[in-house]
A and B are shown apart, each in its own frame.
Chain A
Amino acid sequence: MEQIVILSGKGGTGKTVISAALAALAPNKVMVDCDVDAADLHLLLHPQVRERREFRSGVTAVIDEKLCVKCRKCILACRFGAISDDFKVKDVSCEGCGLCGHICPYGAVRMEENLSGEWFISETRYGPFVHARLGVAQENSGKLVAKIKEAAKEIAEARSLDYMIVDGPPGIGCPVIASLSGADKALIVTEPTLSGLHDAQRVAEAAGHFKVPVCLVINKYDLNQAMTEKIGSFCKERGIPLIGRIAFDKAVVEALVAGKTVIEVPPSQAADEIMKIWQRLK
């Protein structure tokens, strides 16, 4: 089974649209949406949820008013400023380290498990799909990414699938690292802008750091030819295969608004190019 992760550094480069199109093109695959903070792939794949699981992760401190003598020890100890002057724990600031509980002389602090999100195993018109919803203001998206990738891997093994197509998260932090782990290839989707180039460099570096081979696609390349060339020479310098250039195409937004992949709507330039990209990628 080959695991392909689609990344972009900065969001909004068309990563999910391309992931969805590749998902439509790849045979025998499982799809995973690892952008758990802002999952969007389901809007194009329209999953039928078959299994729903809770994601519990981390704990939050709770102070029992009846036991607390207001000695302020916990307020002083907490490095995250999570306990207010009226001895209440602010959920969004608490990192669940448990220090306050350990040092409270009166046993007034208890730690409660967080229900951080949910994840799903679904069926779609293109095959199995694993996705998640991280609760707002929840941490540990890296852990949730690791979890859903593991579930997808099990499905791939049980059904002897050939590909795992992963829509990756933005950035280069913990969820990206989790989505790169075990990947065979990373496809970076970028735009011909200064920030697109800048971010592609950083993601390529991150993928290199974890020894995942990368290739690159420039989306909306015709918006700035000069920048497209710059990105091209960056690729050459680093030995990164540039495997496609997709022109700005209204069909992409139209398909999106219709809730479809660009492959399913009437033939377009963008769809043709993505088909070629798939041939070069696989």
Chain B
Amino acid sequence: MIISIASGKGGTGKTTVAVNLALSLDSVQFLDCDVEEPNAHLFLKPLIKDTARTCVSVPEIDHSKCTYCGECRQVCAYNAIAVLPGKEDKGGSVLVFPHLCHGCGACSMLCPQGAIREVNKEIGTIESGQAGKVLFVHGRLDVGEAMSPPLIRQVKKYTDPSRTVIIDAPPGTSCPVITAVKDSDFCVLVTEPTPFGLNDLALAVEMLRKLEIPFGVVINRCDIGDGKVEEYCGREGIRILMKIPFSREIAAAYSEGIPMVSMEALYKEKFTGLYLDICKVRDGTDSNS
């Protein structure tokens, strides 16, 4: 089963839930898909065994074949290519803007002269290894790179279907999150009981309904703020899977990179319970869902 952990906004405790859930189960693989700010490694402290640079393909023009016809510029939906036609005394030129390129392959496929081939451009790093019993993979986007979805797709290729796969998704509801949570069997939304938390939760719920992924909610710091998140979940028929109270102890341990399950056995039980609840909600054997 693939379980993704997401939240409409960052800082709600998404990584905390992902990490503690992973540490409470047997046979787990952890994929940190929050490639702009990968943080799970700070808590899981994996031994990295493999490091690989990830690439996307971008077009390269063979100027000896190019006739500056402009076809590639026309088909590129992202304005990633500019063509300056040649004048009598001077050859033309074709410029590629790799930051805008989505790697769709349209230009190379449709160039009438076969003048475009695709070359690799590095966008980030994937590291994999092991943290105790947990298989660990994370991606890290290079600073200055704009597009994380290709890197997220690469991280997801490491999925080991024989294990319970836990995906730490990026925050928000746009392209990177969707790339990360797509194909999950279940998504856990982590939120907090404040007006911000509620606002962002509702957006995330809308997203998951659109993607048709079953989900439930974890309320973090459930004792600060107000009761509007619970009211909302009640109204919408959304299952609240777990509530985590605010504790200075947990917060202090968190700040040092210590997961709460390694502090007290009780927490581990709670997270194992969370997993069992997820299975129930997913299989539809839960009457509350």
Q: Is the CB of A173 within 8 A of B173?
A: no
Given A202-B37, A227-B255, A259-B195 contact (CB < 8 Å): yes
For B190-207 the 0/1 string (1 means CB < 8 A from A) is 000011100110010011
Closest residue of A by beta carbon distance from B102 = A95
Q: B238 to nearest A CB, angstroms?
A: 16
Closest residue of A by beta carbon distance from B11 = A12
From B11, B143, B172, B254, give the contact of A205 (CB < 8 A).
B143
From B171, B207, B256, give the contact of A11 (CB < 8 A).
B171
The stretch of B82-90, B174-182, B265-273 in contact with A is B174-182
Given A99-B104, A172-B37, A257-B194 contact (CB < 8 Å): yes
Set of chain B residues within 8 Å of A13, measured between Cβ atoms: 11
Q: Is the CB of B106 within 8 A of A102?
A: yes
Interface residue tally on B, bucketed by range: 35 or more
Q: Is the CB of A257 within 8 A of B176?
A: no
Interface SS of chain B: loop
Q: Is the CB of B143 within 8 A of A206?
A: yes
Given A136-B173, A223-B251, A93-B37 contact (CB < 8 Å): no
Q: Is the CB of A11 within 8 A of B10?
A: yes
Closest residue of A by beta carbon distance from B228 = A257
A184 and B178 alpha carbons, distance in the complex (Å): 32
From B8, B9, B207, B255, give the contact of A194 (CB < 8 A).
B255
Set of chain A residues within 8 Å of B226, measured between Cβ atoms: 257
Q: Is the CB of A198 within 8 A of B42?
A: yes
From B42, B141, B256, give the contact of A172 (CB < 8 A).
B141
A11 and B199 alpha carbons, distance in the complex (Å): 14
Say whether B252 faces chain A, with CB atoms less than 8 Å apart. Answer: yes
The stretch of A36-44, A235-243, A267-275 in contact with B is A36-44
Say whether B279 faces chain A, with CB atoms less than 8 Å apart. Answer: no
Say whether B210 faces chain A, with CB atoms less than 8 Å apart. Answer: yes
Set of chain B residues within 8 Å of A173, measured between Cβ atoms: 36, 141, 145-148, 176
A206 and B145 alpha carbons, distance in the complex (Å): 9
Q: Is the CB of A253 within 8 A of B225?
A: yes
A98 and B78 alpha carbons, distance in the complex (Å): 10
Q: Is the CB of A37 within 8 A of B195?
A: no
Set of chain B residues within 8 Å of A261, measured between Cβ atoms: none
Set of chain B residues within 8 Å of A59, measured between Cβ atoms: 77
138-182 of chain A: CB within 8 A of chain B: 138-139, 141-142, 169-174, 177
From B75, B146, B176, B195, give the contact of A43 (CB < 8 A).
B195
Q: Is the CB of A136 within 8 A of B210?
A: yes
Say whether B129 faces chain A, with CB atoms less than 8 Å apart. Answer: no
Say whether B39 faces chain A, with CB atoms less than 8 Å apart. Answer: yes
A98 and B74 alpha carbons, distance in the complex (Å): 11
Residue among A97, A191, A209 facing the most chain B CB atoms (10 A cut-off): A97
Say whether A192 faces chain B, with CB atoms less than 8 Å apart. Answer: yes
Say whether A195 faces chain B, with CB atoms less than 8 Å apart. Answer: yes
Q: Is the CB of B10 within 8 A of A12?
A: yes
Q: A178 to nearest B CB, angstroms?
A: 9
Say whether A276 faces chain B, with CB atoms less than 8 Å apart. Answer: no
Q: A173 to nearest B CB, angstroms?
A: 5
Closest residue of B by beta carbon distance from A59 = B77
Set of chain A residues within 8 Å of B195, measured between Cβ atoms: 40, 43, 256-257, 259
Q: Is the CB of A227 within 8 A of B256?
A: yes
A100 and B269 alpha carbons, distance in the complex (Å): 50
Say whether B48 faces chain A, with CB atoms less than 8 Å apart. Answer: no
From B75, B211, B248, give the contact of A92 (CB < 8 A).
B211
Q: Is the CB of B12 within 8 A of A12?
A: yes
From B194, B203, B255, give the contact of A193 (CB < 8 A).
B255
Say whether B15 faces chain A, with CB atoms less than 8 Å apart. Answer: yes
Given A10-B10, A38-B203, A253-B37 contact (CB < 8 Å): no
From B105, B199, B255, give the contact of A79 (CB < 8 A).
B105
Closest residue of B by beta carbon distance from A208 = B143
Set of chain B residues within 8 Å of A80, measured between Cβ atoms: 104
177-230 of chain A: CB within 8 A of chain B: 177, 191-196, 198-199, 202, 205-206, 209, 223-224, 227
Q: Is the CB of B37 within 8 A of A136?
A: no
Say whether A45 faces chain B, with CB atoms less than 8 Å apart. Answer: no
Q: Is the CB of A40 within 8 A of B143?
A: no
Q: B281 to nearest A CB, angstroms?
A: 22
Given A79-B104, A139-B175, A97-B77 contact (CB < 8 Å): yes
Say whether B161 faces chain A, with CB atoms less than 8 Å apart. Answer: no
Set of chain A residues within 8 Å of B148, measured between Cβ atoms: 171, 173
Q: B227 to nearest A CB, angstroms?
A: 10
From B10, B37, B77, give the contact of A98 (CB < 8 A).
B77
Set of chain A residues within 8 Å of B15, measured between Cβ atoms: 195
Q: Is the CB of A174 within 8 A of B146?
A: yes
Say whether A16 faces chain B, with CB atoms less than 8 Å apart. Answer: yes
Say whether B214 faces chain A, with CB atoms less than 8 Å apart. Answer: no
> Could you write out 16 A-B pairs with CB less than 8 Å apart?
A12-B10, A37-B171, A38-B172, A40-B195, A40-B196, A43-B199, A97-B78, A98-B106, A103-B110, A136-B207, A170-B9, A194-B256, A195-B257, A198-B37, A209-B144, A223-B252
A-B pairs, 5 with minimum CB distance: A12-B11, A11-B10, A97-B104, A37-B172, A171-B36
